[in-house]
Structure 1
């Protein structure tokens, strides 16, 4: 066998180096994501559990032993075709997820009408059974994302609300209090209705009262924490998701009658935390570019008549 001529040897060496460099580049690109291989052009299967693990890792969150953040329907091993974030996984949200070809719902609040999602909270609950059957039929996994999302820094729920209200410049991580430019209670109510997209708000207070120190407590903090915040921080206004009418509402009413300038704005539970689940799409999508993530609002369950 004759030895290769020098020009052919050089050409072969150049071809080898070029291919090696291209392969190295593809491998480097593929390593950018744990789920995608650009070298092959294929996207690997991503399971529900892998996504939950990714959130905990990226959020620097330690697994909790006693948490309600568990899978309520479906399977951790299910391969994910798309993700929907929402407040409550209502029947409408489930059907919209199906339309979007998303089979993984991250819901901030319960699926089955009680904090632990115990299906036997009320025995022989026909609505629970029908909802379970629908989720199984649609092939959807539901994971509650409540405790962990509040542990993110910043808390994605309160951050999302402040962001949508245009108050990020006044927001401080871990602080319930915001000092906003002074405005009347009436104008504050109008601002919240417009920025958060809420038709009606429940209010206790004088529309002419000046509001500057705001306690922002979206969701259901409970009477002791709402009233405790009012006592400790002395806000001009408490902005909450929901109240027990015999607790915080009566406290504010009597406080005003005793001469204290404090007001209460009740947004509604679902709509008060919805901006946080909407914001979480912005948090997660860059970390999971291979999967389409959509926020589907569960909206206010009440109608004003």
Structure 2
């Protein structure tokens, strides 16, 4: 039986209580349309849109929004030529796009965090999955050794570090996306008894400044940031494998864009 977009969405949200005011929605797209192929991705960038068309997929499952805003669609920038051109290309290609953000993070364990932990080869070291983080006890590793591990496993060009870069770490918190901000990361150091937090990103005046002061006051705390997309893309890659197993007759692809920032 041909899978419909509605069936795919039901699979993605299965077992999770409805989330009020969620950003997860099908826009554009018709729920009853048959699915010819699926692309999962961190963000439905113009590059990802073109790859989906080349692959013959008519459904993109994107973790982040299409139009550069967490809650807004194309209407957030009604007169912007970049948004208009992108929307027109999506329309003329007949693509459907489902935003899969809130429900992905609401899974237990969090799908996006789980994907990053598995990509790092650290799944066996997880001692606790919290809604906001995975807490691990890893074999003793130096900060620079861990940074190299992150670069190798995730194909990163750079890892940003703050705090004590000389310590040996065992207790590690893994936080994806924007959870490196102070409201999440700072209390986690104490409640999780952490030496190190590996995070996507967060305001630079919050957690990085906290760990700097902690070291000056005699503490041993370190923050490694790897980038928002870099921390969440592995979860969407994991989702592609899950959907392929559920729908073996539907071609499913994970597509990643190049890193958005370049080193000059």
Structure 1 counterpart SS, 2:104: helix
- Among candidates 64, 68, 75, match of residue 109 of structure 1: 64
SS of the residue corresponding to residue 234 of structure 1 reads: coil
Equivalenced residue count is 260
Which of 1, 12, 26 is 1:55 aligned to? 12
Larger Rg: 1
249, 258, 261: which one aligns with 1:290: 249
Query: What 5-or-longer segments of structure 2 have no aligned partner?
Result: none
Cα distance in 1 for partners of 2:90, 2:80 equals: 16
CA contact (8 A) 2:164 2:215 kept: no
Query: Normalised by the size of structure 2, how large is the TM-score?
Result: 0.93
Q: Which residue of 2 aligns with 1:238?
A: 197
Alignment partner for residue 170 of structure 1, among 125, 129, 147?
A: 125
Instruction: Provide the residue aligned with 1:12 in structure 2.
Output: none
Q: Is the 8 A contact 2:115 2:236 kept in 1?
A: yes
Within 2, Cα distance between the matches of 1:54 and 1:63?
A: 13
Q: Which of the numbers 264, 288, 293 marks the counterpart of 2:223?
A: 264
What SS does the corresponding residue of 1:73 show, helix, strand or coil? Answer: coil
Aligned equivalents of 2:76 and 2:23: distance in 1? 15
> How far 1:172 moved relative to its partner?
4.4
Q: 1:117 to 1:71 in 2, by over 3 A?
A: farther
Residue correspondence of structure 1 range 1-305 to structure 2 within 5 A: 35=1, 44=2, 46-57=3-14, 60-172=15-127, 174-175=129-130, 176-221=134-179, 222-305=181-264
CA distance in 1, matches of 2:127, 2:59: 32
RMSD of aligned C-alpha atoms? 1.6
C-alpha change, 1:47 and 1:300, in structure 2 (3 Å) is same
Cα deviations across residues 23-67 of structure 1 (Å, max 9, x unaligned)? xxxxxxxxxxxx2xxxxxxxx3x221121113333xx22332321
Which whole-Å deviations, capped at 9, do the CAs of 1:107-164 have from their partners, x for residues lacking one? 1111111111333334522211111111111111111101111222332111111111
Q: Secondary structure at the match of 1:250?
A: helix
Structure-1-length-normalised TM-score: 0.81
Which structure 1 segments of 5+ residues have no match?
1-34, 36-43
Contact 1:78 1:141 survives alignment (8 Å): no
For 1:131 and 1:71, how far apart are their aligned partners in 2?
A: 16
Q: Is the 8 A contact 2:195 2:222 kept in 1?
A: yes
